[in-house]
Chain A
């Protein structure tokens, strides 16, 4: 698979390493790409063979044309969804991080809050969301809160766990220097927790867009959730598929952005 040119560049140079990395990625992406293409092709064939009506199962080609013709409206809905997703996720990030640090600092708080946190995750958000709308009205707030609720947990847990992960010898060294709690936190425990915190953020971001869509479905005037609700009422199954596609694309883009940020901030982790 290696090209002539790549072979002439020594693999131990920076460019050589980069080319090797790209080749590895491509090789990794190849099997899922082939599988996905095959599945889409099979879907298209089955729909045509069985002559299924579009409201029951639209073929991928129909979904694609609907996506293209709906692009302008979709743009507005995407913007509306993001204006719920981003503040909600930001709120979860700030409060989740703060609670994680507090839980780490106080064993009593850990014992008091942890079971409640875990229990809160078992309460279905579809039940909570309408209550929030009833309580806070149809404005931004209930929707932002729904996103915050679904994304908050992984951030708290991974912050609290990550803070416990600092290397014992490094900790002893700083203590021998006379470091106090805050110095230990700033110089050692927070940087050491960053990989774990980013794991939490990545889990959280995958829930965030879905949380926003769900909240919009229950009560909003714009957003992908509204688009889905309208499409369902109009039996536009193709539009529902389009919304699903756009939702997962948005999630993938946000996930990729977080991954880039992680590479940049936790760069020391990837070094040889």
Chain B
């Protein structure tokens, strides 16, 4: 488990029609073992924020700090599940899952064994040697999550992991992710545009403003755990939802 500290990040892109400031002076944190949700309008800079934390983009100002060490612009420090699953079509589920181990020259045999052992847990029993094209949307997301878990990093960034799924599959996977997080003891940052999803899963929720992204609101979700869909009926849930809706201007 590890603590993530994002301090005063700004990022401006040079677009086709001039400069676009996507993130401005954004600070946030995730404590060790915490589940943090980030919610914001589409195009507000959530993926850009993750790219900066993952070291794919360097911020114009500010720093990314993990357990006290400045890792700004350094890659391979956090496990990252991009918005699209990015599974390699020529590799099997298992071969995709051990990709980070291959890149980081770890013990691939051990990682393969671990991946096989986790197939049941990830609802992929019997699909380990199948290519991604054979999988359903929900299974693809679970395969991508398996790859993220086997990255073996204490902090995991999940960028709208269930965004493209139908409501039923999404609900199942949310429940399953909660159980997974419980067992894994990792710090998770999850980007979503779904207020219910954020409140169901997270300990804390950051709501972002439209571009340039800043923190519009930070709320602690003190709903009892373990959670299920029953929390939707909790008056505290409704109160938090209303506050987030007001900030995000969605009704």
**A→B interface (CB under 8 Å):** 167, 169-170, 172-179, 183, 187-188, 191, 266, 268-269, 271-272
A272 near B133 (CB under 8 angstroms)? yes
Q: State which of B86-94, B162-170, B221-229 sits at the interface with chain A.
A: B86-94
Give the contacting residue for A191; candidates B86, B88, B102; CB below 8 A.
B88
Name the A residues within 8 Å of B76 (CB-CB). 176-178
Considering the chains assembled together, what is the distance between the CA atoms of A167 and B85 in angstroms?
Answer: 12
* A268 near B131: Cβ-Cβ < 8 Å: yes
On whether the beta carbons of A172 and B90 are closer than 8 Å, the reply is: no
Q: Across the interface, do B88 and A183 meet the contact criterion of CB distance under 8 Å?
A: no
Question: B112 CB to closest chain A CB, in angstroms?
Answer: 16
Using a CB-CB cutoff of 8 Å, which residues 63-112 of chain B contact chain A?
75-76, 80, 82-84, 86, 88-90, 99-100, 102-104
Contact with A along B37-72 (1 / 0, CB 8 A): 000000000000001001110000000000000000
Which residues of B are found within 8 Å of A187, using beta-carbon distances? 88, 99, 102-103
B134: chain A residues at CB < 8 Å are 271-272
B75 and A172 within 8 A (CB)? no
Q: Are A178 and B103 in contact (CB under 8 A)?
A: yes
Give the shortest distance, in Å, between B156 (CB) and chain A (any CB).
12
Pick the contact of B133 from A169, A173, A271 — CB < 8 Å?
Answer: A271
Q: Which residues of A contact B103 (CB under 8 A)?
A: 174, 177-179, 183, 187
Cross-interface CB contact of B82 among A173, A269, A272, cutoff 8 Å: A173
Q: How far is the CA of A187 from the CA of B75 in the complex (A)?
A: 17
Q: A176 touching B55 by the CB < 8 A rule? A: yes
What are 16 A-B contacts with C-beta separation under 8 Å?
A: A169-B82, A173-B99, A176-B54, A177-B75, A177-B99, A177-B104, A178-B76, A183-B102, A183-B103, A187-B102, A188-B88, A266-B90, A268-B131, A268-B133, A271-B133, A271-B134
Q: A182 vs B84: C-alpha distance in the bound complex, in angstroms?
A: 24
Q: Which of B131-168 contact A (CB under 8 A)?
A: 131, 133-134, 151
Q: Is the CB of B56 within 8 A of A172?
A: yes
Whole-angstrom distance from the CB of A166 to the nearest CB of chain B?
Answer: 10
Partner of A172, one of B82, B88, B99: B82
Cα–Cα distance between A29 and B149 once the two chains are bound (Å):
50
Whether A176 contacts B56 by the Cβ 8 Å rule is yes
Alpha-carbon gap, A169 to B230, bound state (A): 36
Q: Which residues of the other chain, A, contact B83 by a CB distance below 8 angstroms? A: 169
| Sample of 12 further A-B pairs with CB below 8 A, known A172-B51, A173-B82 | A169-B84, A170-B86, A173-B86, A176-B54, A176-B55, A176-B56, A177-B99, A178-B104, A191-B90, A266-B90, A269-B89, A271-B133
Consensus secondary structure, chain B interface: loop
Write the nearest CB–CB distance from A20 to chain B, whole angstroms.
19
- Knowing A173-B86, A268-B89, A268-B90, say if A178 contacts B131 (CB, 8 Å): no
Return chain B residues, CB-CB under 8 Å to A176: 54-56, 75-76, 80, 82
Q: Give the chain B neighbours of A272 by CB distance below 8 A.
A: 133-134
Expressed in whole angstroms, the minimum distance between the Cβ of B97 and any Cβ of chain A is 13
- A178 B75 Cβ-Cβ under 8 A: yes
A179 to B102, alpha carbons, bound, how many Å?
9
For the complex, give the distance between the alpha carbons of A174 and B134 in Å. Answer: 22
Closest A-B pairs by Cβ, 5 of them? A178-B76, A177-B103, A271-B133, A268-B90, A169-B86
Which of B82, B90, B102, B151 has the most chain A CB atoms inside 10 A of its CB? B90
* Chain A hits for B151, CB < 8 A: 177
CB nearest neighbor in B for A265: B90
The residues of B that contact A173 with a CB separation of less than 8 Å are 80, 82, 86, 99
Contact for A175 among B56, B84, B89, CB less than 8 A: B56
Closest to B100 in A: A177
Shortest distance from the beta carbon of A101 to any chain B beta carbon, whole Å? 18
A183-B102 Cα distance, complex, nearest whole Å:
9
Nearest A residue to B90 via CB reads A268
Q: Which residues of A contact B100 (CB under 8 A)?
A: 177
* A205→B144 CA distance, assembly (Å): 39
Taken together as a complex, chains A and B put the C-alpha atoms of A191 and B99 apart, in Å, by: 14
Interchain nearest-CB distance for A153 vs B (Å): 27
Residue of B nearest to A172 (CB): B56
- The answer for the CA separation of A272 and B133 in the assembled complex, in Å, is 6
Q: Smallest CB–CB gap between A70 and chain B, Å? A: 46
